[in-house]
Amino acid sequence: MSITSILAGKTAKLITRNKRREEIEIKKLHIGIEIFLNNINKVICIIILSSLFNILPEMIIILTSFSILRRFSFGIHANSSLLCTAITFILFLFGVLISKSVFINSGSVFLCYSIILLIIYKYAPGDTVKLPIPDQNMRKGLRDKSIAVCVICLLVTNVIGDQVIKQLILMGLTLEAVSIMPITYKLMKRR
């Protein structure tokens, strides 16, 4: 059992100590706390590594756009938290390097957003075996929110003058869009 799991279990018991809770509610709380702690650990690792590579501001932009869209689009997960952190950092590192070295004109940016919107419309939210989303109303609501996030990001990038920042936002959205595509699930042997 990991330290994070032990800490999550103790925190869940502490929170529910003076309250009558069903065992399933305590288990859900435990899992939620564990996910939260794992995400905090990942963000800290990414911040430290980004600082070492001197790309912290760029990494924060990609991470933010990716995370905001992922909040509603979901997507594929790695088999372990460590693997997730490593893959995330590597993909985001390449995203930063590409965004800083390749210039994309405004027409191409708009085309990329159009493709992302089509992917989001068709595949969001990307559920998993552990977290299926069978409720069609919930799926539609999450897809609509995902589309809204993309449209807001498109509007923001039209206002921003800095080309690298535009491309970093676009890169974060692109990485999230790829994470919900069926081919990604197939390549990662998840379906």
Last residue of some domain: 10, 26, 52?
A: 52
- Mean pLDDT score of the chain: 90
Selected residue with higher pLDDT from 19 and 119: 119
Which pLDDT band holds residue 101 (cuts at 50, 70, 90)?
A: very high
Which pLDDT band holds residue 189 (cuts at 50, 70, 90)?
A: confident
Are 121 and 147 contacting, i.e. CB atoms less than 8 angstroms apart? yes
Distance of CA 116 to the CA centre of its chain: 15
Instruction: Express each pLDDT in 37-83 by its tens digit.
Output: 988 999 999 999 999 999 999 999 999 999 999 999 999 988 888 89
Structural domain count, the chain = 2
Half-sphere exposure of 5 (CA within 13 A, CB side): 4
Which pLDDT band holds residue 123 (cuts at 50, 70, 90)?
A: very high
pLDDT at res. 3: 82
Residues 39, 73, single domain; the answer is no
Instruction: Express each pLDDT in 166-180 by its tens digit.
Output: 999 999 999 999 999
Residues 8, 46, single domain; the answer is yes
Which pLDDT band holds residue 25 (cuts at 50, 70, 90)?
A: confident
Residues 30, 84, single domain; the answer is no
Q: Which residues make Cβ contacts (< 8 Å) with residue 151, sequence separation at least 6?
A: 117
pLDDT exceeds 90 at position 32:
no
Last residue of some domain: 52, 67, 88?
A: 52
Range of the domain at 109: 54-187
Distance of CA 65 to the CA centre of its chain: 8
* Predicted TM-score of the model (pTM): 0.87
Residue 79: its H or E element = none
Extract the tokens encoding 54.
């001197």
Residues 119, 46, single domain; the answer is no
Residues 62, 18, single domain; the answer is no
pLDDT exceeds 90 at position 129:
no
pLDDT at res. 160: 92
Residues 59, 47, single domain; the answer is no
Residues 20, 38, single domain; the answer is yes
Minimum mean pLDDT range among 16-30, 98-112, 150-164: 16-30
Residues 116, 173, single domain; the answer is yes
Selected residue with higher pLDDT from 10 and 133: 133
Distance of CA 151 to the CA centre of its chain: 17
Residues 61, 42, single domain; the answer is no
Residues 39, 85, single domain; the answer is no
Residues 14, 90, single domain; the answer is no
Cα–Cα distance for residue pair 144/110, rounded to 1 Å = 19
pLDDT exceeds 80 at position 13:
no
pLDDT at res. 19: 72
Residues 16, 106, single domain; the answer is no
